Amino acid sequence: MNIVLTETDVEFRAELKAAFELDGHSVFEASDGHQALALIRAAKPNLIVSEVSLPDMKGDALFEKVKQLGVDYGVIPFIFLSASTTESHKVERLNGGADGVFEKPVNFPLLRAHANACLSNSRRHANLIEAKLENFSRSLLTGSKSNFDHLSPLGDNIDQYLANFKDLIGELVNHANAKTLPAAAAQTIDTSRLQPLTYIRFCLAELDRRREIVSTLNSEALTWWLIFTVAESEYSGEPVFVSDLYYSTPSAKTTINSRMNQLIEKGVLAKRSHSSDGRRQQLIMTDHFKVKFSKHINESIDMLRSELP
269-275: Cβ within 8 A, 24+ apart: 269/226, 269/227, 269/230, 271/242, 274/239, 274/241
pLDDT in tens, 176-185: 444 333 333 3
- Tell me how far apart the alpha carbons of residues 241 and 230 are, in angstroms, rounded to a whole number: 9
Answer for the pair 201, 162: CB distance below 8 angstroms, yes or no.
no
Beta pairing, strands 269-273 & 281-285 = antiparallel
Instruction: Mark whether 158 and 257 lie in a shared domain.
Output: yes
CATH number for the domain that contains residue 89: 3.40.50.2300
Mean pLDDT computed over every residue of the chain: 75
Q: Which helix (H) or strand (E) holds 285?
A: strand 281-285
Higher pLDDT, 225 or 197: 225
Instruction: Mark whether 149 and 224 lie in a shared domain.
Output: yes
For residue 251, CA distances in Å to 9, 123, 168, 271 come to: 40, 21, 25, 20
The residue from 128, 162, 197 where one domain ends is 128
Answer for the pair 31, 6: CB distance below 8 angstroms, yes or no.
yes
Instruction: Mark whether 119 and 147 lie in a shared domain.
Output: no
Instruction: Mark whether 91 and 206 lie in a shared domain.
Output: no
pLDDT in tens, 81-93: 998 878 888 898 9
Instruction: Mark whether 103 and 44 lie in a shared domain.
Output: yes
Q: What's this model's pTM, rounded to 2 decimal places?
A: 0.46
State the helix-helix crossing angle for 108-139 and 10-21, rounded to 10 degrees.
60
| pLDDT band (50, 70, 90) for residue 174 | very low
Higher pLDDT, 35 or 215: 35
Higher pLDDT, 201 or 49: 49
Torsion sign over Cα 173, 174, 175, 178: positive
Count how many domains the chain has: 2
Please name which of 86, 84, 2 lies closest in space to residue 51, comparing C-alpha atoms. Answer: 84
* pLDDT at 285 > cutoff 80: yes
Q: What is the pLDDT of residue 70?
A: 77
Residues for the chain: how many in total? 309
Q: What is the pLDDT of residue 206?
A: 66
Mean pLDDT along residues 5-25: 93
Instruction: Mark whether 123 and 146 lie in a shared domain.
Output: no
Q: What is the pLDDT of residue 245?
A: 81
Higher pLDDT, 171 or 30: 30
CATH number for the domain that contains residue 299: 1.10.10
Instruction: Mark whether 152 and 189 lie in a shared domain.
Output: yes
- The whole domain housing 212 covers 140-307
Output phi, psi for 228, to 5 deg: -75, -30
Does residue 178 form part of some domain? Answer: yes
Does residue 133 form part of some domain? Answer: no
| pLDDT band (50, 70, 90) for residue 51 | very high
What DSSP character marks residue 241?
B
- Tell me how far apart the alpha carbons of residues 24 and 31 are, in angstroms, rounded to a whole number: 22
The residue from 128, 152, 171 where one domain ends is 128
- Low-confidence winner among 120-129, 240-249, 277-286 (lowest mean pLDDT): 120-129
Higher pLDDT, 179 or 141: 141
In single-letter form, the type of residue at position 36 comes to A
Instruction: Mark whether 8 and 96 lie in a shared domain.
Output: yes
Instruction: Mark whether 152 and 50 lie in a shared domain.
Output: no
Higher pLDDT, 283 or 85: 283
Higher pLDDT, 100 or 138: 100
Answer for the pair 54, 62: CB distance below 8 angstroms, yes or no.
yes
* pLDDT at 278 > cutoff 70: no
